[in-house]
Amino acid sequence: MPLFDRKDKSRYATFTRRTLIMSGGMTAVLCALGGRLYQLQIRDGDLYRTAAEDNRVNERLVAPPRGRILDRFGIELANNRRNYRLLLVAEQASGGTEKALDSIARVIQLTDQQKKRVLHDIAMNKKFVPVVVAENLSWDEFALINQHLPYLPGVQPDVGETRSYPFGAEFSHLLGYVAPVSLDDKQKAGDDADPLLDLPGFRIGKRGIEKAYDAEVRGQAGASRVEVNAYGRVIRELSSDPARPGKDIYLTIDRELQHFTDQRLAGESAACVVMDAQTGDVLALSSTPGYDPNLFNVGISNDEWKQLTTDDHKPLINKAVSGEYPPGSTFKPAMALAAMQNGLKDLTVNCSGAMQLGNHLFHCWAWKKGGHGHVDLKRGIQVSCDVFFYEVARRLGIDKMHEAAVALGFGNRTGIEIPGERPGFMPSTEWKLRRTGIPWQVGDSLSAGIGQGYVIATPLQLCTLAARIASGKAVTPRLAHVVGGMVQPRAEAAPLPFSAEAFDAVRTGMNLVTNVPGGTAFAWRIAEAGLEMAGKTGTAQVRVISKAERASGVKKDAQLPWALRDHGLFIGFAPVQQPKYACACIVEHNAPPHPQVQVARDVLRFAQQRDVLGLKTAYPVNAAQAATAGERT
């Protein structure tokens, strides 16, 4: 074969192999492309169509209106009002954002802090997204903005809704307030958190009923489906589902009674609770001074916050449920029930003004007067004889006292439907040994027997004590009556582990306190027939009286600085024959003539006689009677 034939065949074979390789490669590439196209368009087509639709259509949450909170007669205590707001769209603001803010500041007041916040929010969002400049504007401010709107490019007036508390400080401790969602709130909510918590500007309950029933009054979010372009700008709204408003809550509170109670406590650091003695419905829950909950909704200033936190009357503390005080002599009715139930109903003690225990002298409040003489249980309550109840405590021992006190509501939370309730404390032998390693002493029992020492209670617990004595049942306080149209169920109060004879004796003693001369509250009784109250006065010491001071003369509270004066307490129920209302009142660091008794008297009288309007019908203080009444009871 000629040489050139062999060369041609070799070249042809090489060309054929290369062609096959290239053809195979091209075929593989085309197959891969075809397979990928099949995956994208056929197998995963629905997935990518959905993703593309999501990029084109956004679903946005719509905040629901918050439910109302009303009193037992339908008066709105918390509702929603119009929120006049001012928005700014950065891309429409000619001359820049800072110039636009300066223009707005010439129409309404804007602080440097507000301007910094707006600039920060604009930097964190796209230029076409409206940013809130100011909210909760007055109608005059809103009208001025609308009047100057042609000269304010990029500015958008807006009307929304915000929470409102029409009675201000009067219900601040009861209702609480709403405020923006914090990072801590989101963390506590966990993975199942309501999507509304991520909505800018959304507010939730922070205290009181607003917090306890936040899930119910919050409502359910609506949704708005909008079409957006590649930059996220809204083109049009496609559809919308309206939000579902929150549930309304009807409380057991009587707004008129609460208002009257707040007026009577005005200027004092005090608390007063009024309950239906038969059902436990809380009719008034007052703690003074209060604060304006609207401040926390619209934004509280540094000066306002400093004023609230430095006030020695502690306006941020709900003293009715969170204030813990030695109950003083208001604890003696509980001791009397324990004495009756443990065979001491016929106990008689000779009070000479003090009881000697070892080398320590336990004084009666009437020690300078030579004591009370012969005292039985009923008279012991009437004149508030410390020596009588020292002897009761010595004979009973702390564990029997503890058992009776717990049955009457001491030492545990009542379970009222607002957060922040404190449990108080009722000691026992086991507690002291475990806590201090020191056995319980008889002297500890004597102090506890007159409501001092380790014993502490809240005004709500003291009102529960008064209601349980009045009714003979283990009534518990409650605030929520109807939630979302549904009446809240409650179990019938169980009977208490005390005999009818024991209750009769204690009620008689409390009647003697207020309605018979010699009683520690006789000077401030309710005089109208059929409206009489029964009660028990009390004093809680806040300082230790030294032997030297006793020898030279104990200073009266009126002679001491405010912070060193004793607390004044009173518990009572009315009317005496068929008790309907129970009350407990404490005035911190008070001075005679016993304002806590006068407040409780006027409140119980008002509750029974609803045509009494305002303070003009409150009893005047009779200085002559006050001088003859007990000074420390």
Catalytic residues: 329
Cα separations in angstroms, 339 against 315, 480, 506: 39, 36, 10
Strand ranges for 325-403 from DSSP E: 349-351, 354-357, 360-363, 373-375
What is the distance between the alpha carbons of residues 411 and 431, in angstroms, rounded to a whole number? 12
Name the 3-class secondary structure at 311: coil
Residue showing tokens 């005047």: 620
In this structure, the dihedral spanned by the alpha carbons of residues 531, 326, 387 and 436, taken in order and rounded to 10 degrees, is 150
Alpha carbon 514 to its chain centroid, in Å, reads: 33
Angle between helices 398-407 and 332-341 (to 10 degrees): 110
Alpha carbon 435 to its chain centroid, in Å, reads: 30
What is the distance between the alpha carbons of residues 19 and 81, in angstroms, rounded to a whole number? 81
Name the 3-class secondary structure at 178: strand
Reference 507, options 274, 277, 325; nearest CA is 277
Residue showing tokens 């100011």: 134
Alpha carbon 389 to its chain centroid, in Å, reads: 36
What is the distance between the alpha carbons of residues 56 and 241, in angstroms, rounded to a whole number? 19
DSSP for 437-486, please give it.
Answer: S----HHHHHHHHTT-TT-BB-HHHHHHHHHHHHHSB----B-EEEETTE
Q: Which residues pair with 478 in a beta bridge?
A: 281
CB atoms within 10 A of CB 141: 16
What is the distance between the alpha carbons of residues 169 and 13, in angstroms, rounded to a whole number? 101
What are the helix (H) ranges across 190-238? Answer: 208-212, 214-218
Q: How many residues does the chain have?
A: 633
Q: Is 206 within 8 Å of 218 (Cβ atoms)? A: no
What is the distance between the alpha carbons of residues 373 and 293, in angstroms, rounded to a whole number? 53
**Cβ-proximal residues to 209 (8 Å cutoff; 6+ apart), any chain:** 69, 78, 174, 175, 176, 249, 251, 417, 418, 479, 480
Q: Which residues pair with 484 in a beta bridge?
A: none
- What is the H or E stretch that residue 270 is in? strand 270-276
**Encoding tokens for residue 144?**
């001025």
Q: Which residues pair with 178 in a beta bridge?
A: 205
**Encoding tokens for residue 374?**
């012969």
